[in-house]
A and B are shown apart, each in its own frame.
Chain A
Amino acid sequence: MSDLLQLVFAGLAHGAVYGLVAMGFVAVFSVREIVNLVQGEYAALAGLSAISAVGAGVPLLAAVLLVVPLVVAVAVLLERVAIAPVRRMTPLVSIILTLGLSTAVKAAMLLVWGPQAQRLPPFPGADVVVGGVSVRAQELWVLGVTAVVGYGVIRFYEYTLLGKALRACAEHPVAARLVGISPRRATMVAFMVAGLVGAVAGVVGSPIYLSSWDSGLTLGLKGFVAATLGGLVSLRTAVVGGLSLGVLENLVAGYGSSGYRDAVAFVVLLLVLLVRPRGLNLRSSGARV
C-alpha cells in the first residue's frame, strides 16, 4: 500500500511539471491555434541557465528569479522574429516553423552547454516521511509552485480584462479587432505566458529530472499530451491531465517495465485522438474538428 502511495506521490510531482508545460501549449493554442513545439525548450533553457547562474555563485532563489524573466524574454523574442511576420498561418506552416525554432534553440543549447545532462541543486527544505511515504522537499516545491502559478494563469485568462481579450481573439479575430483588441499584442502576451510557465517548469523540475539540451523534447511532448486531454483549450484540464499522466507513467514504470514509461504518454495521446479529439472536458463545446 505504501508502495502505491509512494509511486502516486512521486508521479504527482512529475505530473505537475507536465501540467505546467501543458498550460503553455494551451495558452498559445487557445489564442493563435498554433501548436508551439518550442514549449519544451523554454523549460530546458530555464533549467540550464539556472544551473549556470548557480555555478557562477548566484544564490539559488536569485538565480531562479533571474532566469524566469530571461526565458520569457526569449519566448517573446522568438515570437516576434519568427511567428509574427507570417501572414497565412496554416497548421502545416506552424508545425514546420515551430519545429525549426525548437531545433535551432536545441542546437544553440548544445553549443553553449555541451551534451552532458546537469542538475540544479534542490530547493531548500527537509525531506519528510508521511505515513510511510517519503516525500522530497523538492516534490513539495513542485506541487506548491504549480498550484500558485496554475491558479495565477487561470485567473489571468478567465477573470482579467486582458485575459478575456486574448480569448476573444481566439474566438473571432476580426470581431476582436473591431472592438479594439490587437491580435498581434494578444499573440505576444500568449507567448509570454507560455514562456513563463515553461521556465517555471524548467527551474522547479530540474532538481528532479536532469536538464540537458535535449530534455525539452520529451518534456514538451508529454506536456502536449496533457494539453490534448483538454482539447488544447482548457487550462484546468491541462493541469489535471498533466498530473494524471505523471501518476500513470509512474505506475507503469513501478509495476510494469520502466522501459515502457515513455510510451505511456503517447499511447494515451493516440487513444484520446481516436476517441475524443476535442478533449475529455465535458463542458467544452467549440468545434475543433
Chain B
Amino acid sequence: MSTRLRSLGPFALLTALLVAFPLVAPENLVNSAVYAAIYGLAAIGLSLLMGLAGQVSLGHAAFFAVGAYAQALLVTKAGMPIAVAALVSVAAAMLVALLVGLPLLRLRGHFLALATLGLGIIVSVVVRELEVTGGTSGIFGVPKPEFNGRVYDTPQEYLWLLTPFLVLGLYLARNLVRSRTGRALGAVNDSEVAAECLGVDTFALRLRVFVLSAGYAGLAGVFYAHWISVVSPDASGFELSVQMLLMVVLGGLGTVWGAVTGAVAVEALDEGMRAAIPRLVPGASGEVQLIGFGVVLVL
C-alpha cells in the first residue's frame, strides 16, 4: 500500500502546484500556464503515441482542431450543454483517428507520420473552406464554461478547472505505460518480430494508443475552444502540430511527465520570444523552433 501511495506523490505535488500557482503568480503568468496546461494535455497523448507505439504524428493539430470545432459548433449552434458537447467532441476526434488509423497502422515506418501530415492539411483546408465552420474567421462566441452557477472566466479559475483533467490524464497515461499494454508495446519497439511471436497483437495495440492520443488532443481542443472563445483555422495549422511535437521531444521521449515539462518549456519560450521580437510576430513560432531544434539535435 505504501508503495502505491508513494507513486501517487508526484501527482499530489502537481495538483498542489497547480492549485497554488494562480494564488501567488501574476495574472499574465497564470494565463501562460493555462495555455501550457491545454497544450500539455495534447502533448501527453502525442507522447504516448511516440514513446509507446513508436509512431510520429505530424498532424496532431488535426485532432485538436476536430475537438475544438466540434465543441464550438455543438455549443454555439446546437445549444448543447457543455459537458455533453465535450464528450461528443472528444469522441469525434477519436473517431477520426480510428478511421485514419484502421488502414494505416498496419504499415510500418514513415507511413503514419506522412498520412497524419496529409490529414492535418486536409482538415485545415476543409475548415477554412466550409461555411459551417466559418471560413477563415472561424467560429465566434464560444462561452466561458459555467457549472453550478460558477463561471470559469479568469485564468485563475480556468487553470483550476483544467487541473483535475490534466492530473487525471497524466495518471491514466502513466498507468497505461506501466500496464500490460505498455509493456507489450515496449516489447514491440524493441523487436517487433519477437513480440509478435509471443502473441502481441501489434496492430490492435498501436491503433488503441493512436485513438487514445487523438482523444487527448480532442480534449485539449475542447478546452482551447472555451478558453479563447474563437476557433479559427489556426487551431489546425502545421505550426501547431510541430509545436506539439517539440513539446514531446523537449520533454524526452517515453515519459509522460516529459510532455508536461515540454509544454511548459515551449510555452515559456513562445512567450519570451513574443516579447523579445515583436517585429516578427507572425514568424515568432519559427524562432522558438530554431532554439528547440538545437535540443532536438542533441537527443
B121 & A263 in contact (Cβ 8 Å cutoff): yes
A257 contacts partner chain B, Cβ-Cβ < 8 Å: yes
Q: How far is the CA of A252 from the CA of B145 in the complex (A)?
A: 41
Q: How far is the CA of A82 from the CA of B290 in the complex (A)?
A: 14
Least CB distance from B121 to A in Å reads 5
A96 & B117 in contact (Cβ 8 Å cutoff): no
B129 contacts partner chain A, Cβ-Cβ < 8 Å: yes
Least CB distance from A257 to B in Å reads 7
Using CB atoms, name the residue of chain B closest to A263. B125
The stretch from B31-39, B152-160, B279-287 touching chain A is B279-287
Contacts of A122 in B (CB 8 A): none
The proximity string for B residues 100-122 relative to A, scoring 1 for CB distances below 8 Å and 0 otherwise, is: 10011011111101110111011
Determine the main DSSP class of B at the interface with A.
helix
Least CB distance from B246 to A in Å reads 9
Using CB atoms, name the residue of chain B closest to A93. B299
Q: How far is the CA of A106 from the CA of B103 in the complex (A)?
A: 33
B290 & A107 in contact (Cβ 8 Å cutoff): yes
For chain B, the count of residues having a C-beta within 8 Å of the partner chain is 43
> In the complex, which range does the number of interface residues on chain A fall in?
35 or more
Contacts of B58 in A (CB 8 A): 95, 99
| Partner pick for B282 among A115, A259, A263, CB 8 A cutoff | A115
Q: How far is the CA of A35 from the CA of B109 in the complex (A)?
A: 10
B54 contacts partner chain A, Cβ-Cβ < 8 Å: yes
A96 & B280 in contact (Cβ 8 Å cutoff): no
A259 & B56 in contact (Cβ 8 Å cutoff): no
The proximity string for B residues 110-153 relative to A, scoring 1 for CB distances below 8 Å and 0 otherwise, is: 11011101110110011011000000000000000000000000
A17 contacts partner chain B, Cβ-Cβ < 8 Å: no
B50 & A103 in contact (Cβ 8 Å cutoff): no
B293 & A104 in contact (Cβ 8 Å cutoff): yes
B114 & A103 in contact (Cβ 8 Å cutoff): no
Using CB atoms, name the residue of chain B closest to A81. B297
A270 & B286 in contact (Cβ 8 Å cutoff): no
A260 & B125 in contact (Cβ 8 Å cutoff): yes
Least CB distance from B285 to A in Å reads 9
A97 contacts partner chain B, Cβ-Cβ < 8 Å: yes
B107 & A266 in contact (Cβ 8 Å cutoff): no
A104 & B111 in contact (Cβ 8 Å cutoff): no
B242 contacts partner chain A, Cβ-Cβ < 8 Å: yes
Instruction: Say whether, besides A96-B245, A228-B114, A266 and B119 are in contact (CB < 8 Å).
Output: yes
A196 contacts partner chain B, Cβ-Cβ < 8 Å: no
B249 contacts partner chain A, Cβ-Cβ < 8 Å: yes
Least CB distance from A48 to B in Å reads 14
Least CB distance from B128 to A in Å reads 7
Using CB atoms, name the residue of chain B closest to A90. B54
A239 contacts partner chain B, Cβ-Cβ < 8 Å: no
B11 contacts partner chain A, Cβ-Cβ < 8 Å: no
Using CB atoms, name the residue of chain A closest to B107. A289
Least CB distance from B239 to A in Å reads 10
Contacts of B289 in A (CB 8 A): 100, 103-104, 107
B125 & A259 in contact (Cβ 8 Å cutoff): yes
Within 8 A of A (CB), among B178-220: none
The proximity string for A residues 245-279 relative to B, scoring 1 for CB distances below 8 Å and 0 otherwise, is: 00000000000010110110111011001100100
Q: How far is the CA of A289 from the CA of B111 in the complex (A)?
A: 9
A262 & B56 in contact (Cβ 8 Å cutoff): no
A266 & B118 in contact (Cβ 8 Å cutoff): yes
Least CB distance from B274 to A in Å reads 15
B292 contacts partner chain A, Cβ-Cβ < 8 Å: yes
Contacts of A269 in B (CB 8 A): 114-115, 118
Contacts of A91 in B (CB 8 A): 56, 108-110, 113
Chain A residues with CB under 8 Å of chain B are 33, 35, 82, 90-92, 94-97, 99-101, 103-104, 106-108, 110, 115, 213, 217, 221, 224-225, 228, 257, 259-260, 262-263, 265-267, 269-270, 273-274, 277, 288-289
